[in-house]
Every structure is written in C-alpha cells, then in structure tokens.
Structure 1
Amino acid sequence: MRIALLTYSTKPRGGVVHTLNLAEALVREGADVTVWTLGRGGDHAFFRPVDPAVRVRVVPFAALDGESVGTRIMRSIEVLRTAFTPTDFDIVHAQDCISANAVGPCIRTIHHLDHFTTPELARCHEAAIINPYAHICVSSAVAEEVHTGWGLTPTVIPNGVEYDRFATAASNDPAAAAGRSAWRTRLGHYVLAVGGIEPRKGSLDLLEAFALVHRDHSDLRLVIAGGETLFDYRDYRTQFDTRATELGIDVTVLGAVEHADLPALVAAAQVLPFFSTKEGFGLAAMEALAAGTPVVARDLPVLREVFQNAVQYARSPAEMAAGIREALRHNPQRAHAGRTLAAQFRWDRAARSHLDFYASAATADRRPTSVSGHGAA
C-alpha cells in the first residue's frame, strides 16, 4: 500500500509531530510511506531527522513580503496542488486544511476545529471538512463536534506519544540527569508552556494565573517554548507583552527548541500548564506526563476525555493559579497515574489502526484518481 501523508510545515507544531511519528510507525508496520510538506522560510528538511525508510518530499515555498495570511494560505494550497500527483498513491491522507484542499479526494484527520472570520479562510476550512471522502479524529470530543456540525461520523484513532523518549529524560541515567541539570542551571525553577504565545494557547490566561502564583513563589520563572504558526498574532503578542510588564513578570520565550533538547526541558520543569482554548488531543501535555511532570489543564471536554484523572483542571486564571500551586507540591501518586496513562498511547498501535482504516477506505473504492474540479473553497 502506497501512502502519502501531507502536512503544511516542516516546523515542530502538533500536526507536524503527529505526521512524522505516524509515518515512522507505518513503515515499521511494513507500509510504503511518503510525507509531503511545504518548505517555508527556505527549509529543505523537517525540524528533526526522519527515519530513512520514510520518503520525504519538501516542496519549496518562498516567502513574499507583505503577503496577507489569507493570500499565503491560498498560495500554499496552489503550490502543493501543483507539485503533488495523487495517482502515485493508493491512500492520500491530509493532516490539515491546506493539504486537504490541495490534493483532491483524500482521507482527512481533523485534529481540531477552527473558526475563521475571513471569508476565504472560512471557505477553505469548510471545504477541508466536507470534501474528503473519509475522516479521522484523534479524540471522541472532536469527532462529536464534527458530527454535530456536519453530520459526518469520523473514526476515532488517538495519538501516540514518544513515551520512551520523554520517560528516559526523567530517569536516573547520567546523561538524562545532566540534560535536566543544564536547563535548571540556565532557567532556575520554571513553569513551562509549550506552543508559543497565541490566542488558542490561552497565553493571556496563563500570564494572569502565573502572576498570582509568582506572588508566593518569586523564584519561579515562566518559560514559553515553541510558536511557529501560519497566522499573524502580533497584536496578541503586543497585548501579552504589555500585560506582562504591567504585572511585573519577566517571561522567558525560548522559541523553537532543538528536538534533542526538548525532553530534558519538559522533564526539568516544575509544572506544565496547558490552557489551550481548543485542542484535539493535547500531545505536549501527554509528553509531560510521560516525563513525570505535573500538568494543569483547562477544563475542556476533550482534555477530560484524554487525560481523565491524571491532571488537574481549571477554568479561570484564579483556578489555574490554584492548580499550579497544588502541582508544585510533589505528588507521587499523580505522577505515577500520569506515566501510566501516557504509556498506553503508542504510535505503533495508532499505525495499526490507521492501516485497518486505510484498508476499509480502499475497499470502498474511493481512492484518489484526479484533482480535477477540486477547488480550495
């Protein structure tokens, strides 16, 4: 079975991490997999090494000064559409809105739902849901949203997590201990948020919550890692920075962290707050649990579904602050529950479920034949 997995970027965002781990697990199961992506900013490869058994096609995508977000997304669709030949594959599996609009008939994983006010983006989002012939969601909560909104019934296949990589980073292995020590020497005691500063990550709520905690824990630092996105959040970032100054909080923004260094960064953190307003699964939080780092999450149905009793939940900045304070007190039982939960989510299991799904989709004789007549809107 020749499988194409398509994602929109080479950067370490959740959907990209999902795509690469799924691709590698699929080839371990004997599948023939090619990952397609757009090489933004001159990128010629993904943010991390990829198993050589996975073919990688990075389509060049030049930056254009002054280009609006909507125009850039429409151009992304057209560039990927021009480069991709769907008839080379038995299964075409799009992981996001851009690739689902670019490749013609396909399977689509809907990680989470967005709400756009720009007409062209709203049309792209709609088409990327209704045009694919089969759908996967990584949680039942998102699948239910899709069913309620569009009458579709996606198959639920949960994410995996790189459990061993993050658990090892928290172990007594000398190299792991040295990795944690290096981050603590650089950052001190810190609370770590992953995903950058943006509305969907609930960054302003995080800031307000941390400011409350900081009153009693003045040695604690707020650290934010990651942040590559297609959207323009400069106004939100300005608002965040202004509020941080008003609150007297000096936020450490690391940006993208090297793949090899991330597990130690997570394992060395005191707490990982996870205050996203929308999520499909919560991969960064599951990685933290694998490393034994306590998680305080926004109280969302999808996170209740995925994380059960392994994390604390909060709705308001005051509740978030209380959760962080509680998580700062070491709780071996909760750490054990988190590791036990994370160990259940394996990429090899996800890959086998995908192969079963692909076989069912292929039997239905709805495999891609042409992109003719398939528009972006």
Structure 2
Amino acid sequence: MNVLYLSSYNTKNKAGYYYAVTDRVVELRKQKINVYNVNFDRGCSAKKDVSDINLAFPKFLNSRFPFFYLSEAYLFICVLFFCKKRHFDVIHVHWAYPIGYIGCVVARYLNIPIVLSCHGSDIHTHPKKSRYIYRKTMFALQYANKVLCVSYSLKEKLKELFPEIKDNKILVSYNGLKTKNPVAPINIDNRKLITYVGNLNYTKGADRLVKIVSLLTDKYKGKLRVNIIGDGPLKKELESEMAKLNVDVTFYGQLDREQVHSFIKFSNLIVMPSRREGFGLVALESFIYNTPCVAFDIPGLREVFKYNKLLLADSVKSYVKLCESILSGSNLELNSKKYKIDFRIDFVVNKELKVYEEI
C-alpha cells in the first residue's frame, strides 16, 4: 500500500500536532508501509525531519484576503504534482483547512480515496474566524471518505458545528505515544518544580499562569521553581508579569521532545490551564511518566483524564487547591500503566490502516 501523508506542522514549534503526525509516520515505516510524507511548513523552514518533502510555506501566503486564494493555488499545484509523480492508493491529510481542503480537491480530481484527520483548533476554533474558512472546512469534511477525530469530545464538537456530516463517517483515533527513559534536567534541586508545556496563547490558557503561580507563591515562598516551555504571542507579556512575582521562573522557549519529557518526568506538577483542547497530549505524557497534571474541566480533556478525574478543576480557586494538595505531598494513584496500554502508537496506526483498507 502506498500512502501520501499531507500535513502543515511547524518544525520550529514542535507541539502536539507535530508529534501526532510524525509519530504516525515513523510507526508506519516501522511496519513497512510505503508512506510518503509531504509537509508544508508554517515555520517557513526547509529543514527536513521525518518528512520526505518539507516545503517552506511562503510568509506572504497567509490566510487573509486576498492571499488565501494564492495560498490555495500554491498548495493545489504542489499536491497535484506529487500525486502525479507517484502512485498512491490513499491520501491521509492532517488538519482540515487549508491543507485538508486542498487534499480533498486533489483527491476528487484524481479519484483517490482520502482520510481527513482533525486535531482540535481546525474544528473548534479556526472555522469561526470567517465564513470562508467554515465553508472550506465543510467541503473537506463532506468529501473525505472518512474523518478521524483525536478524541470523542472533538467528534461531538464537529457534529455540533457541522451537523450535515453523517455520524457513520466520523471515527475516533487517539494520538498515540512512545516513551523513553529521560535523563533528569540539570536544574533539579530541593524546591518544588512546576512545569508548563505548550504554546503561549489564549487558547492554551497561558494568560492564566500568572494568577496560578501568584497564588501558589503566597504559600510556597522561596520553595518553588517554575519552568515555562513553549513560545507564542503572550510570551513577552508573561515575562513582564512573572518578573513582578517573587518566584524563580525560567522561560525555555521550544525544546526537543526528549528535553520536554525530562522536565515532565522530574517535575512535581504539570500545569495545564487550557481553555480548549482537541486531545491533551501533555497530560497524557504526564500520566505515563507518573507525574500529576492539573487542568480545567473542559470537554477535550475528559478522555485523557478518565483515570484521573479528580485532577480536573472547575475554577481557578479549585485549580490552585489541587496544585497545593499535590505539592504538599498528597498520595495520588495515577494509573500510568493503563495509559501506556490505551494510547500505544502501534494500536493507533493499526486502527488507521484498517480504515485505509475499508475505503
């Protein structure tokens, strides 16, 4: 079987979407599947990772009028070129718009079966930005032979926002995970270590970090270290606000996955203040490494927290109380073994291979 993988992750910002795609590619190749991965890099980097082709997405081709027409034309020409250059039995595209939409246009033109994977913001956030994006997302969802969502909550959100999509064509396929034995970070000491991992934006709740850290600092003065891993539009604001607090905070920017896993495993607590999530990969990584992770009770996280529902908070006040309880040494069973079984990457890929065969 020859599979064309299409994606648009940012190699300069290796977040959940990046690993959701690349982990699948690695596992497919491990199983001797001929997968050809073409990525349109939003970081405008030509650096090659697991992708066969990593094209720098021109900065001027943004999603604003009138450039989205040029953006779509550029993607269409590139995808059509690769499809005509090689024979593919199926296309698997990750992210609904623009790459998902263009993938479906090319699939219809060449009569190739296509699977569309939705990861979160491409369903619950981006279609709300404009009627144009909504319509293009709708086309991709309607044309794809199968639509895969990374969680049941994302599936329900998709059905709510796009009621025309039939339930029997939407499947749930979790993001899997492979883990190693990470080495301890060099900044480990006797203080309590709190870590945030994610994009520094409103959706991820990065603005909530100041309030949460401030309240924890009042109780644990001089006993906390805070690591913030990630980048985004709120970084400068966070640096300014955190500097006003009497706490040791380090901003690391983007780190490699091995480094992120090191901080997760050796932290006392992972904070995840997201307002919306499609899946919650950081929480999954935390539980697999047996590290407590506290989050707000939002639909996209309930599946990942299904064995640890007590770590979901409904307000900032209850969130901080949960953090204080963990930092004070409360006994907590995280059921890490169950997570290692439920979210194995080989199980995920095998399920998706069956989908390819069915269409």
Output the TM-score relative to the length of structure 2.
0.82
Matches within 5 A, 1:39-50: 39=41, 40-46=43-49, 50=50
Are residues 1:59 and 2:19 paired?
A: no
Contact 1:8-1:37 at 8 Å conserved across structures: yes
Deviation at 1:90, TM superposition (A): 1.3
Secondary structure of 2:312 counterpart: strand
Name the structure, 1 or 2, with higher relative contact order (CA <8 Å, separation 6+).
1
The 1:344/1:117 distance shift into structure 2, 3 A limit, reads: closer
Aligned match for 1:79, one of 69, 74, 79: 74
Q: Which residue of 1 aligns with 2:64?
A: 70
Secondary structure of 1:92 counterpart: strand
Q: Which residue of 1 aligns with 2:266?
A: 268
Q: Distance in 1 between matches of 2:129 and 2:270?
A: 31
Contact 1:7-1:15 at 8 Å conserved across structures: no
Deviation at 1:271, TM superposition (A): 0.7
Secondary structure of 2:76 counterpart: helix
Contact 1:29-1:352 at 8 Å conserved across structures: no
Deviation at 1:135, TM superposition (A): 0.3
Q: Distance in 1 between matches of 2:213 and 2:337?
A: 25
Secondary structure of 1:37 counterpart: strand
**RMSD over aligned Cα atoms:** 2.7
Deviation at 1:331, TM superposition (A): 5.0
Q: Distance in 2 between matches of 1:297 and 1:29?
A: 35
Aligned match for 1:211, one of 187, 206, 214: 214
Q: Which runs of 5+ in 2 are unaligned?
A: 108-113
1:51-92 per-position Cα deviation (integer Å, ceiling 9, x unaligned): xxxx6111233334xx76536766554333221133532111
Matches within 5 A, 1:324-335: 324-330=323-329, 333-335=332-334
Structure 1, 272-281 or 146-155: larger mean CA deviation: 146-155
Q: Distance in 2 between matches of 1:197 and 1:10?
A: 15
Q: Distance in 1 between matches of 2:290 and 2:16?
A: 20
The 1:249/1:315 distance shift into structure 2, 3 A limit, reads: farther
Q: Which residue of 2 aligns with 1:369?
A: none
Contact 1:35-1:57 at 8 Å conserved across structures: yes
Matches within 5 A, 1:11-26: 11=11, 12-26=14-28
The 1:183/1:344 distance shift into structure 2, 3 A limit, reads: farther
Deviation at 1:35, TM superposition (A): 1.3
1:305-355 per-position Cα deviation (integer Å, ceiling 9, x unaligned): 2321325011221111111112224456424x1343234310100011001
The 1:124/1:330 distance shift into structure 2, 3 A limit, reads: farther
User: Letter of the aligned partner of 1:70 in structure 2?
Assistant: R
User: Letter of the aligned partner of 1:180 in structure 2?
Assistant: A
Structure 1, 113-122 or 11-20: larger mean CA deviation: 113-122
Output the TM-score relative to the length of structure 1.
0.79
Q: Distance in 2 between matches of 1:238 and 1:122?
A: 32
Q: How many residues align?
A: 332
Aligned match for 2:144, one of 132, 141, 152: 132
The 1:90/1:333 distance shift into structure 2, 3 A limit, reads: same
The 1:239/1:196 distance shift into structure 2, 3 A limit, reads: same
Contact 1:270-1:328 at 8 Å conserved across structures: yes
Structure 1, 33-42 or 277-286: larger mean CA deviation: 33-42
Q: Distance in 1 between matches of 2:68 and 2:238?
A: 26
Aligned match for 2:228, one of 220, 224, 228: 224
Deviation at 1:299, TM superposition (A): 0.4
Deviation at 1:110, TM superposition (A): 1.3
The 1:196/1:98 distance shift into structure 2, 3 A limit, reads: same
Q: Distance in 1 between matches of 2:24 and 2:35?
A: 10
Are residues 1:157 and 2:156 paired?
A: no
Q: Distance in 1 between matches of 2:191 and 2:132?
A: 45
Matches within 5 A, 1:338-353: 338-353=336-351
Q: Which runs of 5+ in 1 are unaligned?
A: 170-178, 362-377
Identity %: 19
Q: Which residue of 1 aligns with 2:124?
A: 114
Are residues 1:191 and 2:172 paired?
A: no
Secondary structure of 2:184 counterpart: helix
1:95-134 per-position Cα deviation (integer Å, ceiling 9, x unaligned): 1122102222332111222333345444444444334332
Q: Distance in 2 between matches of 1:326 and 1:284?
A: 21
Q: Distance in 2 between matches of 1:214 and 1:160?
A: 35
Q: Distance in 1 between matches of 2:253 and 2:131?
A: 31
The 1:285/1:73 distance shift into structure 2, 3 A limit, reads: farther
Q: Distance in 1 between matches of 2:239 and 2:69?
A: 31
Contact 1:277-1:298 at 8 Å conserved across structures: yes
User: Letter of the aligned partner of 1:93 in structure 2?
Assistant: H
Contact 1:292-1:339 at 8 Å conserved across structures: no
Contact 2:199-2:230 at 8 Å conserved across structures: yes
Q: Distance in 2 between matches of 1:68 and 1:147?
A: 28
1:15-36 per-position Cα deviation (integer Å, ceiling 9, x unaligned): 1211111112222233111111
